[in-house]
Amino acid sequence: MTEELRGTARKMVERGKGLLAADESTGSAGKRLAAVGVASTLETRRQYRDLFLSARGVDAYLSGVILFDETMRQRADDGTPFPERLARQGILPGIKVDQGRVPLPDHPGETATQGLGGLEQRLAEYRALGARFCKWRAAFPIAEHLPSPEAIFANTEALAQYAQICHAQGLVPIVEPEVLMDGDHDLATAERVTGLVLRALFDALDGYGVDLSAVILKTSMAVSGSLDARPAGPEEVGEATARLLRDHVPPDTAGVVFLSGGEPPVRETEFLNAVARRGPFPWPVTFSFARALQGPTLEIWRGRAENVEAARAVFLRRLELDALASLGLYEGE
């Protein structure tokens, strides 16, 4: 099984391709729809997913898609279950398996991600539905005295336990320790805090005996806070992120994918390109974006059938640009 897992992990970070994070919860998907004037129902959320998952040509740029539980059980317009439709195109179906964040006791402003209870049974069901990899997210705010050692420990321990369980169930884990960009912190602070989190994460994975050759790291780039008076540009972000990864990600890790973290689509593409140009690295580097890929498409679609093809064209163009950026070949819009 280990060699099968390693093969899946290698395909997830295939050169020139990335992962689409289409795993927003029902509430988050509702917010995305509301922003473009569409009511959130079971059917409109299915249409929203189909807009991306049934676009012709996505297999040229996507190696996998992270789904939400609801989407894993839904069907495309042609009646094909979404996981099957993706698999037919050579795209790996994945699934978000954490069950959200709850306040961390005695630590105001910090959270712990829940979902370890019953995880083995849920993973077995998802694998039967077609999933080949999973994702678990923890979030770390930067503020005075935050993140605390206790929050880092609680969340990285949970990520390591989750990864161990995934391997036992024949699924590749994506471990996502997101350092949030909210706040007025500068680039150096973002790099330092992200480094602390990554060091704790890989220590925890090692402690649980997790085979890193079948683990994908999904991480924030080193980016200054959204309220920083002097936001860092692509070259600064590229330099700091490349240094961060080389300092803290073990060379036997299967791959690194970046989250978009709410950055504007063009800016995130520029950041990714700047990191990729500082390679080669010991592991493949690519993208796992959500809003940076979906936002421009939703603005055109707005729930109208007559806008589907135009919206998909924008999606494919954004995918193409991010694929080029993952190779360091992006030259602008």
The catalytic site residues sit at 176, 218
Q: Are the beta carbons of 167 and 173 closer than 8 angstroms?
A: yes
Tokens 């209870």, located at residue: 117
Question: Six-digit token pair at 247?
Answer: 């300092």
Q: How far apart are CA 269 and CA 97, in angstroms?
A: 27
d(Cα 152, Cα 112) in Å, to the nearest integer?
9
What is the DSSP pairing of strand 133-140 with strand 92-96?
parallel
Is 228 in contact with 184 (CB distance < 8 Å)?
Answer: yes
Residue type, 227: L
The Cα 275–Cα 220 span in angstroms is 12
Tokens 């020139």 label which residue?
Answer: 16
Tokens encoding 225: 């806070």
Side chain identity, residue 251: P
Contact 80, 54 (CB under 8 A): no
Q: Which run of H or E residues covers position 103?
A: strand 101-103
Is the CB of residue 234 less than 8 Å from the CB of residue 271? yes
Q: Residue 216 gets which letter from DSSP?
A: E
Beta strand 101-103 pairing with 111-113: antiparallel
CB 65 within 8 A of CB 134: no
Which tokens hold the place of 114? 């829940």
